[in-house]
A and B are shown apart, each in its own frame.
Chain A
Amino acid sequence: SQQGEEDPQALSIQEGENATMNCSYKTSINNLQWYRQNSGRGLVHLILIRSNEREKHSGRLRVTLDTSKKSSSLLITASRAADTASYFCATDAGTGGFKTIFGAGTRLFVKA
């Protein structure tokens, strides 16, 4: 059973628009991470937000966490064609990667 579930499954936008992806999870977590996967490649870590944080920024990325709703969102501002990829949320119920559970991902397509 998957802890994190992303929404939407797929998203297509124009270059310059903002892209928002959501992640819902079921049990209490220590932190939540977002990863990116380009086609045919491995996952790359983007950003981590701890359970006691509500918002975090990194460049054009903004992540929010609402532990009362057990949900997180990833916002990519001013999207570029190079942002085309799949984005996964990963929840950690404890320290140790074997406790990390990945969602099924959101496929983002940014049209130039």
Chain B
Amino acid sequence: NAGVTQTPKFRVLKTGQSMTLLCAQDMNHEYMYWYRQDPGMGLRLIHYSVGEGTTAKGEVPDGYNVSRLKKQNFLLGLESAAPSQTSVYFCASSSPTAITDTQYFGPGTRLTVL
């Protein structure tokens, strides 16, 4: 099993450009998440999905859009990149139980917006 994979691993954009980050998981998890990680800030939730065809906003959704057309894939889009979106982006997936919701993370995408 590959677990959670993310593409690309690195990307440099100019202000105003658009791009899509792809996350794929092979664990048949219902839930998927996109986070951003900035120095000293920990992880902040951008958007999440509790199942195929559903998405919802997290803590910092502005400037991002997402889609979950297939259960195994969760796409994060930046329509018009801004320097404030320079960050490391992590995708995660989980299959919650009544007790816990351990998340499995991808390796991250390092994005720089000039």
Contacts and interface: CB of A to CB of B under 8 A. Distances in A.
Contacts, number: 71
Contact of B43 (A33, A40, A50, A102): A102
A100 B99 contact: no
Interface stretch (B14-22, B74-82, B104-112): B104-112
Interface in B47-85: 48, 50, 56, 58
A98 B104 contact: no
A9 to B, nearest CB: 8
B33 A103 contact: no
Contacts of A102: 35, 42-43
B92 A104 contact: no
Grouping DSSP codes into helix (H, G, I), strand (E, B) and loop, the B interface class, with mixed when no group exceeds half, is strand
A43 interface: yes
Contact of A97 (B92, B99, B107): B92
Contacts of B105: 42-44
Interface of B: 4, 31, 33, 35, 40-43, 45, 48, 50, 56, 58, 90, 92, 94, 96-108
10 contacts: A33-B100, A41-B108, A42-B4, A42-B107, A43-B90, A43-B105, A44-B105, A95-B99, A97-B48, A102-B42
